[in-house]
Structure 1
Amino acid sequence: MKGKIINRERFLTNVSSKIGGLTPEKSIEKPEWTVNPQHNVLKDFTQDQLVDVLKEQCQHIHTDFFQTTSDRLKDTLNDVLAQYATKSFIYSADERFQTYHLDDFFQSSVNEKRAIMEWDPEDRETSVSFAEKADAGITFSDMTLAESGTIVLFNGKGQGRSVSLLPRDYIAIVPKSTIVPRMTQATQYIHELVKTGKNIASCVNFITGPSNSADIEMNLVVGVHGPIQAAYIIVEDK
């Protein structure tokens, strides 16, 4: 038997009055706060100081930290893959891999008998299947939060979520210029994109080191529902 709605208008009118008379025709006005402490944290830090903050935070989030130059990036990445005993990896379809001349490195990895794959947005099923079995997933960071040690990924068509979530290990290549103080700057950036009508990724991932979980007694277990190990490679890009 179909139910019957009664007193709907009276109920909605009462709710509307309690929240200031808001209706679909009357939008919510953003309040103007007199104090904005979130904008002051680390605001005067130089890029080098933010790198130091990020490095220290990586110790707390169980993440390996590396620094290199664009010329040495191939060697550093190879060292990380060797340290993690990586025999297979998947990487996002990101033009920055070509910008940093890593395509040559990927070819040499094939020659060293590593199984590799670039995320294929046209064949998601095959890409996900490879990521599930891969030793590592490699992406560039779109924005990096120094205070929390968080990698921000705008998961567009070529940046499949599975690259950072499914493999055994996760490696983030972090251009130094992407490092900002904290979450405040990330939310501001996203807000401006929306405000100006620009397209944003359907999914924005905030990744803070390897996956971990804690029970009610706060016993931390790392690698429960995602990568067991994580590495950030900071690259001097300016």
Structure 2
Amino acid sequence: MSIQNRDSFLQNVANHLGRPRKTEQVERSSFTVAPQWEVFKDHTQDELADELEAHCKVIHTTCKRTTVSELPHVLWETVKGYDGKSVIASDDKRNDAFGVTSFYKELEEQGVEFQLWNPSDGHYNMEFAERADVGITFSDITLAESGTVTLFNNSGNGRAISLLPRTYIAIIPKSTLVPRMTQAAKHIHDANQDGHPVSSCVSFITGPSNSADIEMNLIVGVHGPVEVTYIIVE
């Protein structure tokens, strides 16, 4: 992704502010302490998975663990548990590698209405997501400390998949686990600095939707999925 007309835009801003445009890069501050890097610093992937599973209890999220070979079975079990009669999922390159493509075919064979997010279908994707019982995506980066899945939304992975269906399932490859937001932000920053394509929309999702705005009473499922399952995959 390239930036268009940056110089002329910034010059226009400077002109309206009545000052010369600043062209020197801001010098990054250097801090003597960096506690944000200390949380779970020496944890293994297994230990991060334990932390994630423990925090799922706090965020009202079901957490399951499985292997690639057993993933289709666990997915089917979860969809049935949600009484899923309609399912929408992301068109992710990992679908084949994790055996999920065959699972989606099985869903259709069992009479479940299914939609793989397809940009050529236009607004129909969102219409389907709005009435779907279950949305399924992979997590791109997973924050153990807060129980947060990170989604790089793109043409095959619309935001509506995780926002509009009644329930949501996040497939979490164990390799995506990091301690906290600090590492996720660094990953995104480094990818951008190295010239790799970075999604223009990154979603951070922590369990089912909830709000405690009214009298500090927590209400789960206010403006999105009322139930969420994380499936950690070896």
TM-score using structure 1 length: 0.88
Name the counterpart of 1:90. 88
Q: Deviations over 1:37-68 (max 9, x none)?
A: 11111010111111110001000000001000
Name the counterpart of 2:55. 57
Residue 197 (structure 2) pairs with residue 204 (structure 1): no
Q: What is the Cα deviation at residue 80 of structure 1?
A: 0.5
For 2:47 and 2:99, how far apart are their aligned partners in 1?
Answer: 28
Q: Secondary structure at the match of 1:117?
A: strand
Amino acid at match of 2:149: I
- The one of 96, 99, 105 aligned to 2:97: 99
Where in structure 2 are the equivalents of 1:28-43 lying within 5 Å? 28-43=26-41
Q: What is the Cα deviation at residue 122 of structure 1?
A: 2.0
RMSD: 1.7
Name the counterpart of 2:6. none
For 2:74 and 2:214, how far apart are their aligned partners in 1?
Answer: 39
For 2:121 and 2:74, how far apart are their aligned partners in 1?
Answer: 30
- The one of 105, 108, 116 aligned to 1:118: 116
- Structure 2: 5+ residue runs without aligned partners? 1-13
Contact 2:211–2:218 under 8 Å retained in 1: yes
For 1:23 and 1:29, how far apart are their aligned partners in 2?
Answer: 16
Larger radius of gyration: 1
Range with bigger deviation, 41-50 or 22-31: 22-31
Where in structure 2 are the equivalents of 1:88-237 lying within 5 Å? 88-236=86-234
For 1:186 and 1:12, how far apart are their aligned partners in 2?
Answer: 38
Q: What is the Cα deviation at residue 12 of structure 1?
A: 5.0
Contact 2:209–2:226 under 8 Å retained in 1: yes
Amino acid at match of 2:61: T
Contact 2:71–2:99 under 8 Å retained in 1: no
Range with bigger deviation, 190-199 or 156-165: 190-199
Name the counterpart of 1:47. 45
For 1:71 and 1:130, how far apart are their aligned partners in 2?
Answer: 29
Q: Secondary structure at the match of 1:104?
A: helix
Amino acid at match of 1:181: P
TM-score using structure 2 length: 0.90
Range with bigger deviation, 34-43 or 145-154: 34-43
Q: Deviations over 1:1-60 (max 9, x none)?
A: xxxxxxx98x756xxxxxxxx952233111111111111110101111111100010000
Q: Deviations over 1:90-124 (max 9, x none)?
A: 00010211111222221221121100010002222
For 2:52 and 2:114, how far apart are their aligned partners in 1?
Answer: 29
Name the counterpart of 1:19. none
Moved over 3 A (4+): none
What's the % identity of the aligned pairs?
A: 50
Q: Deviations over 1:102-152 (max 9, x none)?
A: 222212211211000100022221111111110010001001000000000
Aligned length: 221
Amino acid at match of 1:193: A
Amino acid at match of 1:36: A
